[in-house]
Amino acid sequence: MKTRAQTADLLKGIAVLLMIQVHIIELFASEAIYNSSIGKILLFLGGPPVAPLFMVIFGYFIAASNKTAGQLLVRGLKILALGLCLNVALNFNLIIKVNNGLLNIDILPYIFGVDILQLAGISIIVITLFKRIFEKSLLLVLLAIFTVIFLGNWLSSFPPETKFLQYVFSYFYRCSDWSYFPLFPWVAYPLSGIALYALKKQIESKNLNVSPVRIFQADESRQLLKRIVIGLAFFFYLFFTVRYAIFIASDLPLYYHNDLVFAVWTLVFLAFYGYFMNEINRFAGEFVLFRYIKWLGKNVTIIYVLQWILIGNTATEIYKTVSSPPYLLAYFAAALAIASGVCYSLLFLKEKLVYKAA
């Protein structure tokens, strides 16, 4: 379990790096860079390996959690509230400018935009309500995954009749420009994490009847061949499909409104990707660079909040005006360094306060 947790931290840490760069590209880069081939690839790298991966891991640990239903519901409400507060914090500069009459835009979509924290909060609430049902059958979880993807596409045909309902329903399906991660279809990814956990439990229960020595010997004799086969399969999978994935992930309305084909593509991609990241962690996980990346993954929520506050408020001043790649790289490095430094300082202060209290 320790290795799997470290692999999850490594995956989340890499996702943090990709997330920061995609926020820089989306909000800072000029249209020429944004629409270039490199820009589309960077948008792709900030797509499937980031939000879907976060939510699959999120669902996995919900399934593995020993918390009571009440504790999970409270956690979901806290995450939802954090998402709303973050919207205000990252748009604070924009809010001031609108309030002072310097900009004439509707600020409400920025305050009530449905981002990944809102998705996580609502997902944990919904999943908690059905958790006992999902624990009984892997087939039911798989059925739920396909159902929510279908609902995400079907519900979009029914626009809300009033502005108020549009703000409410944006949390559940894409009926507005500010509905980035609505429950349908995005809850399919945490449900996939639950399915992964259920599958792991089934495999572990079957392996209890097999000699550990035989398992070890089989692993030793077949491991290299397995890596080669999986590596080739991953190569050909990307070779024949990556253009499609880049096309979808670089078109944000299409990406935010996942259909079944792209969701299945993403889940298969994440299965390959997760396997190789696990192998990398096994052999090189203690290198300084990987330890830092895993630290980012372990503290993903704090880093996520800090980098959004930095990037969001800066974007109000330089929105889509940076045409120099070195400048974009400098902004990325600065956002990462400041977020890491502040996070480390906050954790250090927390540890000191806990030590003094004890």
Delimit the domains of the chain by residue range. Answer: 2-357
* pLDDT, tens digit (0-9, with 9 covering 90-100), for 295-343: 999 999 999 999 999 999 999 999 999 999 999 999 999 999 999 999 9
Please name which of 22, 43, 27 lies closest in space to residue 322, comparing C-alpha atoms. 27
Q: What's the predicted TM-score (pTM) here?
A: 0.92
* pLDDT, tens digit (0-9, with 9 covering 90-100), for 208-221: 554 444 444 455 56
Q: Is the pLDDT of residue 291 over 70?
A: yes
Q: Is the pLDDT of residue 279 over 50?
A: yes
Burial class (CB in 10 A: 0-12, 13-18, 19+), 164: exposed
- Measure the CA–CA gap between 198 and 138, rounded to whole angstroms: 6
Percentage above 90 pLDDT, the chain: 82
Helix 37-45 and helix 2-27, axial crossing angle in degrees, nearest 10 = 140
Contacts of 49 (CB under 8 A, 6+ apart): 14, 15, 18, 270, 273
Residues 30, 322 contacting (CB under 8 angstroms): yes
Q: Helix (H, G, I), strand (E, B), or coil: what is residue 30?
A: coil
Report phi then psi at 29, rounded to 5: -65, 145
> For residue 318, what are the CA distances in angstroms to 82, 103, 171, 312?
26, 14, 29, 10
- Model confidence band, residue 207 (pLDDT cutoffs 50, 70, 90): low
Report phi then psi at 139, rounded to 5: -60, -40
- What does the block give as tokens for 111? 């305050």
* pLDDT, tens digit (0-9, with 9 covering 90-100), for 35-80: 999 999 999 999 999 999 999 999 999 999 999 999 999 999 999 9
